[in-house]
Every structure is written in structure tokens, then in C-alpha cells.
Amino acid sequence: MTKDKIKIGIYELTGCAGDALLILDCEKELVDIFKAADIQSFSMAKSDNIDGELDLALVEGSVSTEKEEEEIADIRKRAKIVVAIGICASFGGIQARFLDQKEWENNFKKVYGDLEMTHTKPVHSKPIDAYIKVDYYLPGCPIGKDQFLNFLTRMLKGNPPEKYPRPVCVTCKFNQNDCLLNRNIPCLGPLTADGCGSVCINHNLPCVGCWGPVEGANYTSEFYLLLEKGFDLEAIKKRMANYAGTRITGFFDQLNKEKP
């Protein structure tokens, strides 16, 4: 029956390897799931990796070198379904914060000087959907264990993944936390996609937004709410941008237009 198992490849581009590591940390569940699938490539876990046709490719990390540009195109060619896992692959991650090319170049020079790299050329960090079509996104920094297992089980059964079209606040309410915004703490829960189980607020700490923006996030409302509470305009923008990567550019453009 091995012939019928779905073929999966797990790949890492530039990032902290946290998503792959989290998959490894689900050892107990993985044994069963890996029995049901045919893991063709997972370089963090095994050495006999094959780069062939795939049913499902899970890609972690952002595209940050020319070599990775080629790698991601190759993965797309070989895989029926490509899924971005983690915030870096989904939205570019923290390293996509330099929103324009010039800013990135200046910063690159400040770290590495004018040295030409011999192995592969660096490029401004971007999410994988800047290069290829992505079928599904599984954000998070790193991805959540429950969300991942739920996702993989559904894929194995041939079902599309469950969507999480709700902000962290929904789970946060179930967890009966006090709303931190009411206590004038700049929490990004209302803007951020659910999936972490509102872990930071459970620990009395504000959401940092590491799952990235939820679809249809009401930036404008949160932005003006924080302004009203006396936070500095630039500080709010920066805080919102920390993990949102390329997804926040649209809002900033709109904001610039609104301002006289």
C-alpha cells in the first residue's frame, strides 16, 4: 500500500528552523502520522532525502538568497500543494521588516560591508508567495502544535485545512483573561490570527502578534484606539510591523494617504 501514501517534503529556507523543530517536538503523534504518509524529504530529521514529485510540500523560512529563489521555484514545480509554514514563509517574518529595497541594502552594508559573498547572493527577504503560488498558509512563530497536527491529519485524509478566520481575542475570551487593552497595555490580539491559544495573555503579557495579521484585521480601529490611549504614532506602527512582514504595507500606504 506504500504506493498510495501521500508524498510529503518539508523544507527550510532562511529562518530559525523553529517550525521544523516544532514538528520534531511532536514525536509521539508523529510516529503515527509518518506511518500514514511517505516523508520524502525532511532534512532536519533524516539523511536519505529524495527530491522528486510530491503531493504536499511544507516550506519554512523566507527567501533570502538567490539560491533559495531557485529552490522555491523547484519545490513548486515538484509539488501539487505548497503550504507556507511559520511566519517567515507566510509573511516574510521579522527579517522582512525593511519594507523597501534601499533600506535593506543600507542595513546589509552596515552588517557585512561591501564584501562579495562567494557562495550565493543575498536578496531582500520575502515571503514565498512573492515568488510562487501558495495553496495554504499555516502562520505562527513558531507554528502551533495543535494547529499543525489538525492540519496534517486533514491533508492526509484529502480534506482542505480548517481556516482560522478569527483573532486571538476569541480564544482569549474562552480562557477568561482580562482584556489588556482595558488596562492600557498595547496588546495586538485583535489584529493577530488565532492559533497560539492566547498564550501571552494567559501569562499576563500583551500579544506581540507573532501569528501575523488575521484576515480582515481592523488595523484602523486598533490604530486609533492606541492613539487615543496616548501611545506614540511611530511606536504603534513599529509594534504592528514587527511580525506582520509584507502584510502590513497595504495598511501603511492607506494611512499615509489619509494623513494630510
Partner 1 sequence: MKTISVDHLCRVEGNGGISATIDGKAVTGVKFSIYEGPRLIERLTIGRTPEEDVSISPRICAICTLSHKNAVIRAMENALSIQVPPKVTLLRELMHMGEFIESHSLHVYYLALPDYVGFPNAIAMASKFDLEVKIALEMKNYGNHIMKTISGRYIHGENPVIGGFGKFPSKEELLWIKNRAIQFMPFVFKTVDLFCEIEYPEIPEAATLYACCEPGNNAYGFWGDEIFLSTGEKIYKDDYKKLTNEFIVSHSYAKRSRYKGEPFSVGALARVNNLGERLKGEAGKKYEKYFNSRWKSNPLFINAAQALEILYCFERIPPLVDELLEYQEDPAIVQYTSKQGKGTGLVEAPRGLLIHHHEVTDGLVSFADIITPTAINAEDIERYCYIAAQKLLDKGQEDKIRDRMDLIVRAYDPCISCSAHMARVEKAPEEDWKNKLRQIKTSSSPLFVGIGNPNLSDDGAGIALARRLRKQGREDIILEEEIEEKGIPREKRNNRSLIFLDALDFQETPGKVNLIPLSFVLQNATLSHKFLPFLKSPMSNEQLKNSFILGIQPESIDQGRKISLSVRLTLEKILEVIQQ
Integer Cα distance of 248 and 219 in angstroms = 9
Minimum distance, C-beta of residue 256 to partner 1, in the bound complex (Å): 18
Candidates 53, 74, 112, 229; binder of partner 1 (CB under 8 A) is 112
- Asked if 76 interacts with partner 1 (CB under 8 A), we say no
CB pairs under 8 A, 24+ apart, for 133-137? 133/76, 133/82, 134/82, 134/83, 134/84, 135/81, 135/82, 135/83, 136/81, 136/83, 136/84, 136/160, 136/161, 137/83, 137/84, 137/90
- Asked if 130 interacts with partner 1 (CB under 8 A), we say no
Integer Cα distance of 207 and 177 in angstroms = 12
- Asked if 256 interacts with partner 1 (CB under 8 A), we say no
Given the complex with partner 1, which of 46 and 160 has the nearer CB atom? 46
Q: Which of 71, 255, 260, 56 is nearest to 155 (CA)?
A: 56
Total binding residues for partner 1 by CB under 8 A?
A: 65
- Asked if 53 interacts with partner 1 (CB under 8 A), we say no
Q: Which string of DSSP letters, residue by residue, matches 37-102?
A: EEEEEETTT-S------EEEEEEESBEEEHHHHHHHHHHHHHEEEEEEEHHHHHH--GGG---SHH
- Asked if 78 interacts with partner 1 (CB under 8 A), we say no
Given the complex with partner 1, which of 142 and 167 has the nearer CB atom? 142
- Asked if 255 interacts with partner 1 (CB under 8 A), we say no
- Asked if 176 interacts with partner 1 (CB under 8 A), we say no
Minimum distance, C-beta of residue 160 to partner 1, in the bound complex (Å): 27
Using the rule CB under 8 A, give the single segment among 131-139, 156-164, 197-205, 211-219 that binds partner 1: 197-205
Residue ranges that bind partner 1, judged by CB under 8 A? 12-22, 25, 27, 43-49, 62-68, 70, 93-95, 97-98, 104, 107-108, 110-113, 115-122, 125, 141-142, 145, 196, 199-200, 202-205, 208, 210, 235, 238-239, 242
